[in-house]
C-alpha cells in the first residue's frame, strides 16, 4: 500500500514519515521554503477560484479536493510497482470541510473509483478549512474570470466528440459554459476550436479553463504514471465547479446554499445539466479481446461510473445532473447528425482524438480512438477534412507492429473484435463485461455496437489491404 498525505499548509506536512508515504501540498504556490520532498497540486485552481470571485459552496470544494487527491495519486504512484504490475493499493489522507458527510459516502466513493481505475482506494478525512479566500474580489494582478447566467455546462476537451457536443448545444439555442482541462498542448486546440465557435455563432462563448497541475517532489523518484485512468474524475469536478459558479452568479438560492436538493427536494427539478459528450461505443468501451477486460480498457465515461458520481452529487445536494447526450450514437452518427456540418468540417483538423498524441504532438492514427475517429470520418464521407497521422497507412502500421515488433496492438484487437460480427451472444457478453449497465438499455447498446462494427468494417475495406482479416461481408446478426 502507498499512502499520500495531503494538506493545505506545508507546515502540517512536516514530521517524520515512512518512505512509503508521499506528501502533497494542495492549492498553494511554490516557494523556496517548501521542502524538496513535497509534491504539489492545484495551485492554478486556487487562482481560478479567486478570479471567479463567487461564493463556491464548501462541499463542492471538497469534491474538487478529493478529485485532485486522486489525480495526484494516479500521477505519482506507479503501476509497475504494484504486485501484479497494475492494481495499486492507495490510501489517501486528505482535508475536507465536512468530514462527517464524506465519511458517510466513503464506501460509494471507493467503489466508484475502483471501477474507474482498477485500483483499491482507501480514504481518511480530516477537517480543515480552505486557506484561500473565495468570497472576495480577486487580487489586482489577477484578471477576473467572467461568469454569467449560462443555462448549462459542457465539458470541452478539444476532442471531436466534445466539439460536436458544443456545436449541437449552441445550434439548439442553448448558452453553455464550456469547461476545459487545460493540459499542456490541449489548451491551444481548445482555444482555436472555441474561436471558430465564437466566429460562427457571433459572440463570445463562455469558456472556463482549469488545470490541476500536479508537480512531482524534487527529491526521490520523479517518474510519473501515464495510464491516468482517473482523468475524468477531475474533469467532472471542474464541470461541477463551473455549474456551481453559474448558479452562484444566477440565483440567490444557489449562491448561498450548497445543499439545495437535500434541504428542499423540490429543487431537484432545477438541476443544471452538465453535458459530457462522448460517443456510446467509446463510453462503454467493450473489451475488444477476451484478455482486454476490466480497467485495462478505459472507463472514463462508462455509465456505471457516471451513475456512481451522480449518486454522490445527489447525496451531496449538488443541483447538477450529468448527461451524455451521445450515449447511443457512434462517433460517425454524431458527425452525420451534427447540426452545423460546415462548421464541423472547418474545425475537424483542430480536434484531437488520439490517446498517444502528447508523445509526439501528432495523432498516431493506429490507436483505438484514432481508428474510431477515422472510420467515423470515412462514414461521414469527407476524409479530406481530417488531420494528419503518424501512421496514415493502416496496413503498413499493422504489418510493422505485428511482424517487426511482435506487438498485439489496437489494430489487431479491432480486427479480432470484428470477427464477432453476427455473433449476438458473444457481443452481448462483451457488452456486459464492460461494466454494469441498466438492463433496459442493453438492446440499445447491442444495436450501437453492431452499427460501430459496420463503420469499422467499412473503413478497413475502403482504406486498407487487410480484407483477409475481416469476416465475410454477407454475415448477418443471428437471432
Per-residue pLDDT tens over the stretch 232-284: 999 999 999 999 999 999 875 444 444 444 455 445 557 999 999 999 999 99
How many domains does one find in the chain?
A: 1
pLDDT, position 215: 94
Maximum mean pLDDT: which of 127-131, 168-172, 359-363 = 168-172
> Is there a domain that residue 248 lies in?
no
- Choose between 131 and 184: higher pLDDT: 184
Q: What is the mean pLDDT of residues 360-369?
A: 88
- pTM listed for this prediction: 0.92
The pLDDT tens digits for 309-344 are: 999 999 999 999 999 999 999 999 999 999 999 999
> Is there a domain that residue 314 lies in?
no
pLDDT, position 290: 81
Q: Do the Cβ atoms of 350 and 193 come closer than 8 Å?
A: yes
pLDDT, position 255: 43
Is pLDDT of 138 > 60? Answer: no
Q: What is the mean pLDDT of residues 350-363?
A: 83
Q: Which are the contacts of 301, defined by CB distance < 8 A and separation ≥ 6?
A: 232, 276, 278, 282, 283, 324
- Choose between 438 and 138: higher pLDDT: 438
Positive or negative: CA dihedral 125, 39, 230, 352 = positive
> Is there a domain that residue 136 lies in?
no
Q: What is the mean pLDDT of residues 24-41?
A: 91
Q: What is the mean pLDDT of residues 451-460?
A: 97
Q: What is the mean pLDDT of residues 374-393?
A: 87
Q: What is the mean pLDDT of residues 196-217?
A: 95
pLDDT, position 184: 75
> Is there a domain that residue 427 lies in?
yes
pLDDT, position 264: 53
Residue 132: name the closest of 56, 69, 183, 210 by CA. 56
- Choose between 402 and 201: higher pLDDT: 201
Maximum mean pLDDT: which of 58-62, 287-291, 386-390 = 58-62
pLDDT, position 133: 54
The pLDDT tens digits for 77-86 are: 999 999 899 9
> Is there a domain that residue 140 lies in?
no
Contacts 24+ apart (CB under 8 A), 392-398: 392/365, 394/365, 394/366, 394/460, 394/463, 394/464, 394/466, 395/464, 395/465, 395/466, 397/365, 397/366, 398/366, 398/464, 398/466
Q: What is the dihedral of CA 47, 51, 57, 60, to 10 degrees?
A: -50
> Is there a domain that residue 456 lies in?
yes
Residue 64: name the closest of 269, 277, 212 by CA. 212
pLDDT, position 261: 43
Cell numbers 498485439: residue: 408
The pLDDT tens digits for 72-114 are: 999 999 999 998 999 999 999 999 999 999 999 999 999 999 9
Structural domain span for residue 361: 353-469
Q: Do the Cβ atoms of 417 and 288 come closer than 8 Å?
A: yes
Q: What is the mean pLDDT of the chain?
A: 89
> Is there a domain that residue 87 lies in?
no
- Pairing outcome for strands 38-41 and 152-155: unpaired
> Is there a domain that residue 210 lies in?
no
At 56, list the grid cell: 463556491
Is pLDDT of 387 > 70? Answer: yes
Q: What is the mean pLDDT of residues 193-209?
A: 95
Amino acid at each position: 500500500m502507498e499512502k499520500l498525505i495531503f494538506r493545505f499548509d506545508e507546515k502540517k506536512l512536516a514530521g517524520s514519515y515512512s518512505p512509503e508515504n508521499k506528501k502533497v501540498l494542495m492549492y498553494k504556490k511554490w516557494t523556496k521554503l517548501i521542502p524538496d520532498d513535497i509534491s504539489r497540486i492545484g495551485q492554478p485552481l486556487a487562482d481560478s477560484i479567486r478570479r471567479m470571485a463567487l461564493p463556491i459552496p464548501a462541499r463542492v470544494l471538497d469534491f474538487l479536493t478529493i478529485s485532485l487527491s486522486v489525480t495526484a495519486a494516479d500521477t505519482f504512484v506507479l503501476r509497475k510497482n504494484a504486485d501484479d504490475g497494475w492494481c495499486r493499493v492507495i490510501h489517501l489522507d486528505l482535508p475536507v470541510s465536512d468530514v462527517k458527510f464524506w465519511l458517510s459516502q466513503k464506501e460509494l466513493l471507493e467503489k466508484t473509483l475502483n471501477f474507474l481505475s482498477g485500483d483499491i482506494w482507501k480514504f481518511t478525512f480530516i477537517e480543515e478549512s480552505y486557506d484561500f479566500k473565495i468570497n472576495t474580489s480577486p487580487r489586482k494582478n489577477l484578471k477576473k474570470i467572467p461568469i454569467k447566467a449560462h443555462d448549462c455546462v459542457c465539458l470541452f476537451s478539444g476532442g471531436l466528440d466534445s466539439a460536436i457536443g458544443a456545436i449541437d448545444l449552441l445550434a439548439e439555442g442553448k448558452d453553455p459554459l464550456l469547461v476545459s482541462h487545460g493540459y499542456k498542448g490541449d489548451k491551444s486546440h481548445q482555444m482555436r476550436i472555441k474561436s471558430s465557435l465564437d466566429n460562427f455563432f457571433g459572440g463570445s462563448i463562455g469558456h472556463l479553463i482549469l488545470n490541476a497541475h500536479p508537480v512531482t517532489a524534487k527529491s526521490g523518484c520523479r517518474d510519473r504514471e501515464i495510464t491516468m485512468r482517473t482523468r475524468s474524475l477531475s474533469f467532472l469536478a471542474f464541470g461541477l465547479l463551473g455549474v456551481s459558479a453559474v448558479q452562484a452568479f444566477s440565483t440567490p438560492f444557489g449562491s448561498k446554499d450548497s445543499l439545495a436538493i437535500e434541504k428542499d427536494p423540490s429543487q431537484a427539478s432545477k438541476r443544471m445539466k452538465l453535458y459530457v459528450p462522448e460517443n456510446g461505443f467509446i463510453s462503454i468501451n467493450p473489451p475488444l479481446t477476451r484478455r482486454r477486460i476490466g480497467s485495462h480498457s478505459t472507463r472514463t465515461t462508462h455509465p456505471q461510473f457516471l451513475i456512481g458520481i451522480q449518486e454522490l452529487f445527489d447525496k451531496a445536494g449538488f443541483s447538477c445532473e450529468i448527461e451524455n447526450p451521445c450515449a447511443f450514437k457512434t462517433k460517425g452518427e454524431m458527425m452525420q447528425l451534427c447540426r452545423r456540418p460546415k462548421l464541423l468540417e472547418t474545425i475537424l483538423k483542430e480536434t484531437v482524438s488520439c490517446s498517444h498524441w502528447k508523445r509526439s504532438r501528432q495523432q498516431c492514427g493506429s490507436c483505438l480512438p484514432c481508428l474510431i475517429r477515422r472510420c467515423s470520418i470515412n462514414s461521414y464521407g469527407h476524409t479530406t477534412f481530417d488531420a494528419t497521422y503518424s501512421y496514415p497507412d493502416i496496413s503498413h502500421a499493422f504489418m510493422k507492429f505485428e511482424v517487426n515488433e511482435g506487438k498485439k496492438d489496437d489494430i489487431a484487437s479491432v480486427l479480432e473484435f470484428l470477427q464477432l460480427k453476427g455473433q449476438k451472444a458473444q457481443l452481448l457478453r462483451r457488452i456486459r463485461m464492460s461494466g454494469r449497465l441498466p438492463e433496459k438499455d442493453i438492446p440499445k447498446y447491442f444495436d450501437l455496437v453492431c452499427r460501430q462494427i459496420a463503420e469499422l468494417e467499412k473503413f478497413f475495406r475502403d482504406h486498407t489491404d487487410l480484407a483477409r482479416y475481416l469476416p465475410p461481408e454477407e454475415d448477418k446478426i443471428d437471432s
